[in-house]
Amino acid sequence: MTICIRWAAALLAAFCMVLGAISIAAAAAKPPNIVYIVADDLGFADVGYHGSEIKTPTIDALAKGGAQLNSFYAQPMCTPTRAAIMTGRYPLRYGLQSFVILPEQTYGIPTDEKLLPQILKEAGYQTAIVGKWHLGHADPAYLPMARGFDSQYGPLIGEIDYYTHEVHHVVDWYRNDKVLHEKGYSTELIGREAVRVIDAHDTAKPLFLYLAFNAPHTPYQAPQAYIDRYKDISDPNRRTYAAMVSAMDDQIADVLNALDQRGMRDDTIIVFQSDNGGVRDALFAGEIETKGDLPASNAPYRNGKGSLYEGGTRAVALVNWPGHVKPGEVDGMIHVVDMLPTLAGQAGASLAGTKPLDGIDVWKTISEGAPSPRNEIVYNVEMFRGGVREGDMKLIWQTPLPQRVELYDIAKDPKETTNLADAQPETVAKLQARIQQLGQESAKSLFMQATMGAYMHRELGTPALPNDPAFFEQGD
C-alpha cells in the first residue's frame, strides 16, 4: 500500500512538472503584441514630460512607466524614417535617402526589401497599418497590403487636409488599399480605427499594429474644442498645433484603454516616436500653404525637420512594456534602424530573407538601461551632404561648393554652437572618410532621378520620364 501511495505521489509530481513545463513553453511561445505609434513632425520639446505647455498626459504616463529614449535618432524627413523602421536599413541603401515621395512621383520602397510586417507575419502575427504610409502609392506592388499588412486604413501619402482628406483636391484616404470617401477629423478617425482593430483582434495570435498619425503635420487644423483648451497661447499656429497634439494624445489614450479592455495591455510593447524633429524651416512645411510662424519647438536642439542638426534628427521616443521595460531615462544612442532587429528579437521572429541590416538589437539598452552597443549614428548621406557621429563627435559636411564642414562635440555641446572643425582636422578627415564610404555604398536617389527625369522631359524634350535613370547613367 505504501509503495502504491509513493508511486502515485511520484506520478502526480511528474505530471505537475510536465504541466508546468507545457505552461511555461506555451507562455514563451506567445510573443508580445506590438503597437508602434509614429507622430508626424512632432517637436522634441512638444510633450509634457519634456516640459511643454502642451498637455500630453497619456504620452507622459507611457514615458513615466517606460524607457524615455533621450538619444533616439530618426532620419531628417518622413519617407526616409518610415523606410528605416520598415527595413532596419539606412534609406541610402535603396534610394530613399532624399526628401519624400511626392504625390506625382511613382517610385516606392523597393519590393526586394523585406519589411517588418512581413517578418512578423511569418512569425504568426496579425498585422495592421492604421494611418500614414508614405512609402509608395502609385503601383499596387508598393501598397501596404502587398508588403505584409493584413489590413490598411488611412492616407497613403499623408500631407492631407484633416477634414476633406485631400491633397491637391485628390482624396488620399484608403481602406485595404482602396479609396474611401469618409467624413471626419483624421486624427480621430485613425484612433477609432486602431480601437476597432484591437476590438476585433483574435487574441490567440499576437498583434502588430503600426499606428501612424499624420498629426501634427501641416496644415494646422483641429476641432474647436481642442483649440479652446489653449486660449492662453497667443500665437494662432502654436495654439492649433498644441490642440492637434492633444487630440492625438487623447486617441492614444483610447487605444490603451482598448488594450486594457481586451486584457492585452500587459502583453503589449508600446513604441512611440516622432518621424523627425518639428518643422522650423518653411521649405519643409509642406506643399499646403501655412501662414504665420512655424509653431514646433525642438528645444534645446538646433533647427528642425530636414536638417542634419540635432533638432532635425533627435526625435521624441519611448518604449513601454509593463514588467519588462525598466522605467527611467535611457541616454545611450539608438538609431531608428535598430527597431526592426530589436522588435523581431522580442517576437522570436526570423530575420531570414532580409538584406544586411544596419540596425542592432538594443533591447537591453531599452529594457534595462544598459550601455548602448551603438557607437555610430548615420544622420544621412546624400549627393549634396552627409552627417555622421562617432562617439561624441559629429560631422556635418555640406558638399556643394563652397563646401562647409562642421564638427561638434555633442556630449559637451548638444546645441551645436561651437564648430571644432579647424581645431580637430584629424577627426574631420576620419569622419569624412566614413561619409565617403557610405556615399560609395549608396544607391542612386530615387527622388533625384524622378525629379530630374521629369524636368528633362518637360523642359528639354528628352525621352527621360519620371523614375527613368537614363539621365543619371549617361556618365557611368
d(CA 301, CA 457): 41
Please enumerate in sequence order all residues whose Cβ is within 8 A of that of 3, keeping only pairs 6 or more positions apart, or say none.
none
**Is the fold of 31-374 the same as that of 377-441?**
no
Half-sphere exposure of 423 (CA within 13 A, CB side): 7
> Quick check: pTM over 0.85?
yes
pLDDT of residue 459: 53
pLDDT of amino acid 327: 98
Q: Which amino acid is at 17?
A: M
**pLDDT at residue 402, as a whole number:** 93
End-to-end CA distance of the chain: 91
Predicted pLDDT of residue 14: 45
Q: What is the pLDDT of residue 460?
A: 53
**CATH number of the structural domain 31-374:** 3.40.720.10
Residues annotated as part of the active site: 78, 134
Contact between residue 166 and residue 145 where contact means Cβ atoms under 8 Å apart: no
Give me the count of residues in the chain: 476
| Residue 162 dihedral angles phi and psi, to the nearest 5° | -70, -20
Residue 471 to residue 464: CA distance in whole angstroms: 7
* Domain edges within the chain: 31-374, 377-441
- Residue 158: what pLDDT? 82
Q: Which amino acid is at 236?
A: P
Residue 248 near residue 38, CB atoms below 8 Å:
no
The set of cell numbers assigned to 151 is 489590413
d(CA 335, CA 379): 9
In the numeric block, which cell numbers belong to residue 295? Answer: 509653431
pLDDT at 245: 98
Each of the 476 residues of the chain gets a pLDDT tens digit; together they read 444 445 444 444 444 443 444 333 344 568 999 999 999 999 999 999 999 999 999 999 999 999 999 999 999 999 999 999 999 999 999 999 999 999 999 999 999 999 999 999 999 999 999 999 999 999 999 999 999 999 999 999 988 999 999 998 999 999 999 999 999 999 999 999 999 999 999 999 999 999 999 999 999 999 999 999 999 999 999 999 999 999 999 999 999 999 999 999 999 999 999 999 999 988 788 755 567 789 999 999 999 999 999 999 999 999 999 999 999 999 999 999 999 999 999 999 999 999 999 999 999 999 999 999 999 999 999 999 999 999 999 999 999 999 999 999 999 999 999 999 999 999 999 999 999 999 999 999 999 998 876 655 555 555 433 344 443 333 33
pLDDT recorded at residue 2: 46
Residues 6+ apart with CB under 8 A from 8: none
Cis status, amide bond into 300, omega within 30 of 0: yes
Assigned CATH class of 377-441: alpha beta
- Maximum separation of any 2 CA atoms in the chain, in Å: 102
Alpha-carbon dihedral sign for residues 450, 452, 456, 462: negative
Q: What is the pLDDT of residue 1?
A: 46
Write the burial class of residue 392 (CB in 10 Å: 0-12 exposed, 13-18 middle, 19+ buried).
middle
